[in-house]
Structure 1
Amino acid sequence: MKRLAATVLSILFLAFSALPVTVAQAQEQPRLRVDLDELNPRVVSTTSTSLTVTGRVTNVGDRKISKLGVRLQLGTRLQTEQQIGDVLAGDKFKDLATTEFVDLVPDTLEPGQSAALNLAVPLGQSSKLQFPKTGVYPLLVNVNGTPDFGGPERLAAVTLLMPVLGIPGKAPASRPLSAPSASLLWPIANSTVHVVSSPLGGPLTVADERLADELAPGGRLDALVAAARAAEADTKVSSSLCLAIDPDLVATVDGMTRGYQVATGGGPVPGKGVDTAKNWLGQLKALVAGRCVVTLPFADADLTALTKVRAGDATDTALLASAVGGAAAIKNLLGIQPQDGVLWPGGALDAQTVEAIGKAGVKTVLTDSGKLQSDSPLSGIVALEGTDLRAQPIDALITSALNGSESTQNGLGAIAFRAGLGGQTGQERSQLLIAPPRHWTATGPELTTFLERMGDFYAAGLIKSSPLPDLLGESPSGTASVNYDPQDLTAATSGDVTAKMSQIDNETLGLSSAMTMDATKRVKPADVIAPVRLALIRAASTSWRGADAATVTGNARGDLDAIRGQVTVERPKQTIALASGASPLPAYITNGLPVGVNVRTVLKNNVGLRPTEAVPERTVPANGAVNQLLPVEALRAGRFSVDVSLTTPDGTRLGTDARFELTSTEYGAITIIITITAAGALLLLSSRRIYRRIKDSRADPAGETTPRVTEDAQV
């Protein structure tokens, strides 16, 4: 009983010890979500009279929350890049000023319910929010409440960077004597890989209608184009804007304009976004006319991953060249020549990749300043050590600020900080290349507001509008080397993916080497396998990060199987009767491709049948067929089956195996010879045994036998 009591007490002790941990973990779950609809003004100036914040607060927890209130908290002026980074990471800051809590209406929310958030705070000498001087300040929208079974606490907060160009009610402050030059990249790229297949001469098939939704009015891609077109009224904003375009996106939308299919569980169905694609592509053509355009890698591929496909002496350098050579596609489809040799790659670039893209024709890379290592602060263009390439740094702090739910506001704060409002020497830059996330998801109104406030910065002299070609045209300010950290390697395309890509690439190479151009069709083998090559590049897209290898490479595998599946052996509809033991086996080989294909026929599972000589290679003409007589010999009579398959001369599999059902009533010549020889040997041994027995019986007339080991027994 003592042991039992001790055991029970131990279990109870462990259970109660674990209880606070469980409660603590539950408390870490979000209770409220704050969605801001409006922040006005975005930039505080001498003419600002009030600060307005509107939005909604939603109970996303599992308990009722009451006594909801909201207030604003203003932090001290930010003076270092580290302080900006801490605020963007959501760290707490020291309060400079706070407003009173204002009750939400309603002030009690059941799970799933929402309440409007409305705050209007006067700005000026008597305001609760006093800005001591110009600069960039952290502003917190703080929502407090009391959950059931708990006490009052902060349940949600949104942190914003607030640029202050002038103190409300005071005279304008003097601007820096030398404002930095600023250029802005405007990414127009796929948010994910959409294409499932796009065979030569066949219909484009996409995974779903997400791309059509993004192209439609109000969609993500429509908003990016519409905001940039609206900014054309401001010449300074317009001249500083450079469109960064994904060739895969443009090619896919162009394909949609001619009709496309959507993959479903029950088979492909016609796509509904043909007119939407036509309209968006027309809007994009109008936008790019006469503008600066730079190229993204095809499908925003991880270029370092592509250098690891068939790595070594057999590295597929053409795959990477295709990924960085999208300028020709953009010119062909949009009628605009992108900046010569300028590329904005994603992901970390190692030394091998830098060398490879240089050989592929790239002259200048636009890259995150954090991925470059130099002895001095990076601002202008630099030469990459040991190469002929140049690198234009993209400000990493601004890019980080433009990533997130309140990206446009925080981006404005980071730009103002870099322009000199930090108040500390060394934090400002003489040149700014501003780049949002490549798959930017800001709403249309937010994008428009961001460009309008950029116009205000230009007008106020905080920054100077500079076309990107002007930045790139300057001489290098120094040298740098590529630099990446363990976090970059963790986010990179996995080795499992590149291994599967290498396997598919090898099979594609074997297939293409067996193809020949047909004199009448005039189709190049490279055009036939191009869909597989593009699918391999899409498999390296940065949008796949974290997906398993089979999913990532599935489309490429499907395209390859569809191509080689068109060269196959037809399965006979009836049993084939071999007229003699050495009758040839007739095989009918068809080729549905517009190119000739050299094939080799192989027998499998051919017990009872053997080839009598090597089967010669045959060329099956484009969209044609040939009869192939396979020299075989039956090893037995009766009914049996054999599988006939096709490969290229180097062994790459083609089509699917065809099972032949056979009957044979005769043996082949070799089989007959073996049978006769065996019968003769059996007759000879039997005769010898009979002779020995007769001889032994004569030697023992009394009938006595003596046990002995005869040669027959030994045999």
Structure 2
Amino acid sequence: MAEAADIQGMSPAPARRWVRRTAAALAGAPLVAALLAGVAAPQAQAGGASKAPTGSSTVSVSLDSLTPSAPVKGDTLMVSGTVTNKGKETITDAQIDLRVGPKLYNRAAIDTAGERTGYVPGSDPYPIDDKYSETIDKLPRGGSREFSLSVPVSKLNLGDDGVYQLGVSLTGQTNRAPYDQVLGIERTFLPWQSEDRDSKPGISFLWPLIASAHLTAETGSDEQQTPVFADDDLAAEIAPGGRLERMVALGSQLPVTWVVDPDLLASVDAMTKNYRVKSGDTTVAGTNQAVAKKWLTALEAAVAEGKVVALPFGDPDLASIAHRGKNVSGTLSHLQTASEVAGVTVETILHVKPSTDFAWPVEGAVDPSIVDVATSAGAHNVIARSDSLQEDDSLSYTPTAARPIGGGTTAVVSDARLSTAFQGDMTKAGNSTLAVQRFLAVSLSLAEQDTEKDRSLVVAPQRMPTIAQAQAMARALQALDDDRWTRSVTLTQAAATKPDAGATTAIPRSSQYPKRLRSQELPTQAFQDIKSTQTSLDNFQVILTQPERVVTPFGNAVNRSMSTSWRGRALEAQLYRDSVRTYLQGLVNEVQLITKSDVTLSGRSATIPVTVQNRLLQDVDHLVLRLKSENATRLELNNGGAVAEQPIRVGAGHSQSVKFDAAANINGQVQMTAQLYTQDGKPYGEEMAFTVKVSELTPTVLLVIAGGLLLLVLAGIRMYAHRKRANADGATGEDGGEPEQPSDPTPDTGPESAEPSGTGEKVDR
């Protein structure tokens, strides 16, 4: 018995108490029934899903608070929580006990203890002294009761430094089982270190500032180009008590590496000035400038030491690009641009120079194509995770995070257990407490590993932690803040640590990429949509005299279209891409040809006007208007050609009428087409078709013309004869003179007009 007590980390007093309880159980029921109540009873109820829990699952035990999380000598451990009776009977003569031990020597033992459910005699530790317990006379069916246990650490009889099991149990009786039995238990871990360590692994904790996209591609027509937000949700996140406000407030007190999406900074910076928010079919003025300024000021102070990593602008989904987008032309160039503007954006807004050579695939899952895409954009370090880049059994310890994977690229491998410790619902105090204790336990077990090597560990949590998750992470880091068994390092320092020679450097095959993550990726169609938008933008910007007013907002919107934040939100992602493309097409259509009606020629030669309208708020240039006759034999342009073109420049908000010379040879109808082109020969906008009617060169007209010519000839003969007689009369002394000639007739053409042609219009000759 003494040997057993020593193994379980218990004093002689608890051992005597256990003997008394066993004797009581022998008096009231068979020993087997007492010991196996926690195992056999649930099995007996397996056939009835509607039946209430029994055995050691009868009572739910929640550990809502455990302080200090990692005690030292002289501390008093305080554990509080709630017990709830889930069974069908009232529980009487109950006692809540604290159980400590045994020591868990590695991470596998921690995992096993954490997965165990129900009371397991022989595996679970014995209760400590009764004086640190709490009694409950009666706990009715469905009833709950808060508890609080307090015990000096010196009374826990902890031995060597390491991780110990810590449990809280409720022992009681029911009418059907009138003997002491464990009716509920919850386990956690107690990290214990009594002496300072000589060798401490470094730990780099990433603190992500990332949000979903809120800015649209739209801007106001004013000189400042007032930005337009899709909603005002970002203001709620940065306002006091909001998720991002809490992230900054908590992170400012912690030794972390800030991982920032520059798009978030740009969006908040836009909110510090005038901005608009969509509201139905219109927009309203944004009112959260003060909130935005306060958040940026707080963040700038928090990152003043310069531990900042900038992701590519918009946090593009590297896996989606690698698996679905890289074969769509232009996609990789967007990623390159997003990487190039990242550093400038962060430095301009936060006044600190960030590191820009880190890529962070979703959940650290990598394959060769993801690594290739990441490095193509300039990253030299890829943040992976140990459940993706898994170790073999060649090492007896967890190697340092840095792993050379070829081509000058380093995989910075985060620890999967530590990185996923705070996922799930942390709003429940019990979940949060367990997560903190497990994180500390795992980190201590890593520090306890038998190696003198200089190691750096990396923790890469979820990209957008909730407030409760961030608070839990902060509590865990605060417990390590005094360098108990780890030391704080930046991500850059972790990546530069000398790699372990035996650590794996083999990147998993593409077929090993998790199906769950692959199903969340952006589809290939998304990248084709982006390509279509970029093509329209390229054609549009070449005609603008101020292209930067369009290129910048649309370029940023294209980057947001590839964001990791769209995972699991396929419909919202599609709607965002559609809104960008629709808005751009609307701007493109502001420069167009005004539709013409049929044209009637008033003579053999004429000018045909075509009007170009510019409803943009900037001039357009570098356009060519091309007019084409489908029948040059009947109607030719510009001295004999079938096609004529002229360069175009149209002022903001104006229309420009362009005139083409035309000559009619044969009467009838001729189909004409007008089309705008950019100077590099690409069509711009829709082609416009209209008809020219050559209707005045009829036989009657020709007869009239011939008759007129005949009359002129006859008049000339008459004038010659008359002059000859006059000369003869002059020779005989008779007076004579020239007959007075009539003046030129009134011109039959009107002045040229720059207005568009009307219905049945006649064009100038």
Structure 2 spans left out of the alignment, 5+ residues: 1-44, 174-180, 628-633, 637-641, 700-765
Q: Does 1:539 align with 2:561?
A: yes
Q: Does 1:212 align with 2:241?
A: no
Structure 1 residues 345 and 495 mapped into 2: Cα distance closer, same or farther (>3 Å)?
A: closer
Report the equivalent of 1:336. 352
Match among 550, 553, 558 for residue 574 of structure 2: 553
User: What's the secondary structure of 1:298's corresponding residue?
Assistant: coil
Structure 1 spans left out of the alignment, 5+ residues: 1-19, 147-153, 167-171, 232-237, 604-609, 674-715
Query: Quick check: 2:91–2:139 contact (8 Å CA) kept in 1?
Result: no
Query: Quick check: 1:511–1:652 contact (8 Å CA) kept in 2?
Result: no
Query: Quick check: 2:598–2:693 contact (8 Å CA) kept in 1?
Result: no
Query: Quick check: 2:218–2:228 contact (8 Å CA) kept in 1?
Result: yes
Report the equivalent of 1:165. 192
Report the equivalent of 2:74. 47
Structure 1 residues 52 and 399 mapped into 2: Cα distance closer, same or farther (>3 Å)?
A: same
TM-score (norm 1): 0.68
Q: Distance in 2 between matches of 1:670 and 1:158?
A: 105
Q: Distance in 1 between matches of 2:361 and 2:696?
A: 67
User: What's the secondary structure of 2:248's corresponding residue?
Assistant: helix
Deviation of the 1:277 alpha carbon: 0.7
Report the equivalent of 1:396. 416
Structure 1 residues 496 and 285 mapped into 2: Cα distance closer, same or farther (>3 Å)?
A: closer
Report the equivalent of 1:473. 496
Query: Quick check: 1:580–1:668 contact (8 Å CA) kept in 2?
Result: yes
Report the equivalent of 1:368. 385
Q: Does 1:417 align with 2:442?
A: yes
Q: Does 1:355 align with 2:380?
A: no
Query: Quick check: 1:298–1:537 contact (8 Å CA) kept in 2?
Result: yes
Deviations along 1:575-611, one digit per CA (max 9) or x if unpaired, are 95644599968444325164746678999xxxxxx99
Query: Quick check: 1:215–1:280 contact (8 Å CA) kept in 2?
Result: yes
Q: Distance in 2 between matches of 1:627 and 1:293?
A: 56
Q: Distance in 2 between matches of 1:616 and 1:65?
A: 94
Report the equivalent of 1:698. none
Structure 1 residues 367 and 569 mapped into 2: Cα distance closer, same or farther (>3 Å)?
A: closer
Deviation of the 1:496 alpha carbon: 6.0
Which structure is larger by alpha-carbon Rg, 1 or 2? 2
Report the equivalent of 1:274. 289
User: What's the secondary structure of 1:213's corresponding residue?
Assistant: helix
User: What's the secondary structure of 2:279's corresponding residue?
Assistant: coil
Query: Quick check: 2:262–2:312 contact (8 Å CA) kept in 1?
Result: yes
| Matching of residues 74-223 of structure 1 within 5 Å | 77-85=103-111, 94-97=123-126, 117-123=146-152, 134-137=161-164, 139=166, 161-166=188-193, 172=194, 174-190=195-211, 192-199=212-219, 202-223=225-246
Deviation of the 1:420 alpha carbon: 3.5
Report the equivalent of 2:706. none
Query: Quick check: 2:320–2:522 contact (8 Å CA) kept in 1?
Result: no
Query: Quick check: 2:214–2:229 contact (8 Å CA) kept in 1?
Result: yes
Q: Distance in 1 between matches of 2:562 and 2:89?
A: 46
Point out the more displaced range, 480-489 or 591-600: 591-600
Q: Distance in 1 between matches of 2:317 and 2:479?
A: 33
Over the matched positions of the two proteins, sequence identity in percent amounts to 22
Q: Distance in 2 between matches of 1:569 and 1:338?
A: 41
Q: Distance in 2 between matches of 1:50 and 1:228?
A: 27
Report the equivalent of 1:317. 332
Q: Distance in 2 between matches of 1:489 and 1:80?
A: 30
| Matching of residues 642-653 of structure 1 within 5 Å | none
Q: Distance in 2 between matches of 1:495 and 1:568?
A: 33
Q: Distance in 2 between matches of 1:32 and 1:652?
A: 75
Structure 1 residues 210 and 332 mapped into 2: Cα distance closer, same or farther (>3 Å)?
A: same
Q: Distance in 2 between matches of 1:552 and 1:163?
A: 45
Deviation of the 1:207 alpha carbon: 3.7
Q: Which amino acid aligns with 1:626?
A: Q
Report the equivalent of 1:257. 272
Q: Which amino acid aligns with 1:566?
A: L
TM-score (norm 2): 0.64
Deviation of the 1:225 alpha carbon: 1.6
Query: Quick check: 1:308–1:315 contact (8 Å CA) kept in 2?
Result: no
Q: Distance in 2 between matches of 1:618 and 1:142?
A: 87
Q: Distance in 1 between matches of 2:590 and 2:322?
A: 37
Query: Quick check: 1:571–1:658 contact (8 Å CA) kept in 2?
Result: no
Match among 251, 257, 260 for residue 242 of structure 1: 257
User: What's the secondary structure of 2:257's corresponding residue?
Assistant: strand
Deviation of the 1:318 alpha carbon: 1.6
Deviation of the 1:124 alpha carbon: 5.5
User: What's the secondary structure of 1:546's corresponding residue?
Assistant: coil
Structure 1 residues 508 and 199 mapped into 2: Cα distance closer, same or farther (>3 Å)?
A: farther
Report the equivalent of 1:500. 526
Q: Distance in 1 between matches of 2:318 and 2:542?
A: 31
Aligned residues: 599
Q: Distance in 2 between matches of 1:82 and 1:140?
A: 18
Superposition RMSD in Å? 5.4
Deviation of the 1:98 alpha carbon: 5.8
Report the equivalent of 2:40. none
Q: Which amino acid aligns with 1:216?
A: A
Q: Distance in 2 between matches of 1:537 and 1:288?
A: 25
Query: Quick check: 2:404–2:499 contact (8 Å CA) kept in 1?
Result: no
Deviation of the 1:281 alpha carbon: 0.1
Structure 1 residues 583 and 568 mapped into 2: Cα distance closer, same or farther (>3 Å)?
A: farther
| Matching of residues 271-670 of structure 1 within 5 Å | 271-307=286-322, 311-312=326-327, 314-325=329-340, 326-339=342-355, 341-347=357-363, 348-373=365-390, 379-380=399-400, 382-404=402-424, 405=426, 406=431, 410-411=435-436, 413-420=438-445, 425=450, 430-443=455-468, 446=472, 448-456=474-482, 458=483, 460=484, 462-478=485-501, 480-483=505-508, 486=512, 488-492=514-518, 497-516=523-542, 521-524=545-548, 528-548=550-570, 550-568=571-589, 576=597, 578-579=599-600, 586-592=610-616, 594=618, 596=620, 619=648, 621=650, 623=652, 625-627=655-657
Query: Quick check: 1:140–1:157 contact (8 Å CA) kept in 2?
Result: no
Query: Quick check: 1:365–1:392 contact (8 Å CA) kept in 2?
Result: yes
Structure 1 residues 439 and 70 mapped into 2: Cα distance closer, same or farther (>3 Å)?
A: farther
Structure 1 residues 144 and 627 mapped into 2: Cα distance closer, same or farther (>3 Å)?
A: farther
Q: Distance in 1 between matches of 2:508 and 2:587?
A: 47
Structure 1 residues 310 and 165 mapped into 2: Cα distance closer, same or farther (>3 Å)?
A: closer
Deviation of the 1:547 alpha carbon: 2.1
Deviation of the 1:464 alpha carbon: 2.6
Q: Distance in 2 between matches of 1:453 and 1:102?
A: 31
Query: Quick check: 2:543–2:623 contact (8 Å CA) kept in 1?
Result: no
Q: Which amino acid aligns with 2:310?
A: T
User: What's the secondary structure of 1:477's corresponding residue?
Assistant: coil
User: What's the secondary structure of 1:370's corresponding residue?
Assistant: coil
Structure 1 residues 402 and 517 mapped into 2: Cα distance closer, same or farther (>3 Å)?
A: same
Query: Quick check: 1:381–1:392 contact (8 Å CA) kept in 2?
Result: yes
Deviation of the 1:398 alpha carbon: 0.6
Q: Which amino acid aligns with 2:344?
A: A
Query: Quick check: 2:622–2:649 contact (8 Å CA) kept in 1?
Result: yes
Deviation of the 1:331 alpha carbon: 0.9
Deviation of the 1:222 alpha carbon: 1.6
Query: Quick check: 1:418–1:428 contact (8 Å CA) kept in 2?
Result: no
Point out the more displaced range, 553-562 or 436-445: 436-445
Point out the more displaced range, 574-583 or 480-489: 574-583
Q: Distance in 2 between matches of 1:157 and 1:263?
A: 53
Q: Distance in 2 between matches of 1:309 and 1:616?
A: 42
Q: Distance in 1 between matches of 2:607 and 2:59?
A: 81
